[in-house]
Amino acid sequence: MSLTTVAELRTALGVGTLYPDATLQEVCDAADNVLLPFLWNNSMPTIAHSNVGTVGTLYFNDPVRDFFYVGQTITIVNSGGKYNGSKVVTKVEDRSINVTTDHVTDSPYHPINPYGTASGTAYTDFTTIPAIQEASLMICVSIWTSRQTNTGNGMNPDGSIGSMYAMSSQLIARVRGLIAPYLSPNSMVG
């Protein structure tokens, strides 16, 4: 479920039924894709994988021994079709874990680009936090406005002046005060 619903975005924009739900849902999903990586969650980026028989190994840049544990069910995404989905951790080493896969042939260590994600149980439901919901809605409105106007300082539908920087790093900077208590230390590099 998106942090901002189609109904919320439709109301905020005041567009009534002018645009189909699918068009507005694309904007809601894009806002999630922008915002969620900045929020602290129970996940680690997967950088590579290998496979021997039905034992798949996922590799990480950071130590994972205290992050994952044997018997834990994790959700893996963007790490290859044979790895994606819910998997049970069968072995944990310093920077790798083993899971059971449905590979039929062995495969050597090879990188995952862009990185995938391995997530444990989520302890926070961001859809219930008003500050996160407001930040998401603000990002949705910014994305929508950028889609509807040119970025050459034209006039936006709300009468404000457009900006060529609307989709730059300023997008998150505008909502950083709302999301500050929930920012992941991993997103604050640089």
Q: 136 and 105, same structural domain?
A: no
In a domain, 158, yes or no: yes
Helix/strand/coil (H/E/C) assignment for every residue in the chain: CCCCCHHHHHHHHCCCCCCCHHHHHHHHHHHHHHHHHHECCCEEEEEEEEEECCEEEEECCCCCCCCCCCCCEEEEECCCCCCCEEEEEEEECCCEEEEECCCCCCEEEEEEEEEEEEECCCCCCHHHCHHHHHHHHHHHHHHHHHHHCCCCCCECCCCCECCCCCCCCHHHHCCHHHHHHHECHHHHCC
**Number of structural domains, the chain?**
2
Closest of 27, 19, 20, 3 to residue 140, by C-alpha: 27
Task: Tell me the pTM.
Answer: 0.77
Query: Last residue of some domain: 119, 144, 171?
Result: 119
If you search the block for the tokens 């479920």, which residue do you land on? Answer: 1
Q: Do 19 and 47 sit in the same domain of this protein?
A: no
Together in a domain, 34 and 48: no
Which residues have C-beta within 8 Å of that of residue 173, sequence separation ≥ 6?
none
Same domain, 49 and 113: yes
- Cα–Cα distance measured from residue 27 to residue 102, given in angstroms and rounded to the nearest whole number: 35
Task: Per residue of the chain (190 residues), give pLDDT as tens.
Answer: 789 999 999 999 999 999 999 999 999 999 999 999 899 988 999 999 999 999 999 999 999 999 999 999 999 999 988 899 999 999 999 999 999 988 878 999 999 999 999 999 888 999 999 999 999 999 999 999 888 766 555 555 555 555 555 677 788 888 999 999 999 887 766 4
Residue 1 domain flag: no
Beta-ladder partners of 87: 74
CA 28 – CA 144 distance, rounded (Å): 9
